[in-house]
Amino acid sequence: MFILRLIHILSAIFWMGSTLFIGLILEPAVAALGPEGGKFMQKLAGGPLNRAMSATGLLTILSGLGMYISHSGGFDPAVMFAERLPLTLGALAGFAALLVGLLMQEPASKKLGALGRQIASQGGPPTPEQAAQIAALQSTLSRGGKLETMLMLLAVLGMVA
């Protein structure tokens, strides 16, 4: 149980800390840089940060699930929805945050990275269609990041309640 708790806490710190850093600090700085910020985000998209975020999100959820099985009496509904309701809701919010990351953030990030490489190979500025795609993908990433942050905060509240 100690190892599961250690993995859960350390991976959650990285996962949530990275999400907060990106949403509160990196995205506003990138937006202020305009086209240069867009180039930076295209380079970052699909790189090791996304893999690290996915891996730590998965580690957080899997280690949390291992602990939850014990704390919920083996998924006993009387325990899950009475004694441990805040923990159950927090676990569901954490799982939902992982799904947002895997199903919304990661695909948009990979598409943005691929689009950036395509534009770089053209040797010129993005076409109007590519610029529109970049804006749409960045908007998806921003919305997903906000949703993921809210879900993670709900998960933390469920863990401490």
**What pLDDT, on the 0 to 100 scale, is given for residue 54?**
86
- Mutual angle of helices 128-160 and 85-100, in 10-degree steps: 160
- Residue 72 phi, psi dihedral angles, 5° rounding: -100, 10
pLDDT in tens, 92-133: 999 999 999 889 988 988 888 888 888 888 888 889 999 899
Give the domain CATH number at 58: 1.20.120
- The total of structural domains in the chain comes to 1
pTM: 0.84
**What pLDDT, on the 0 to 100 scale, is given for residue 140?**
92
Range of the domain at 86: 2-160
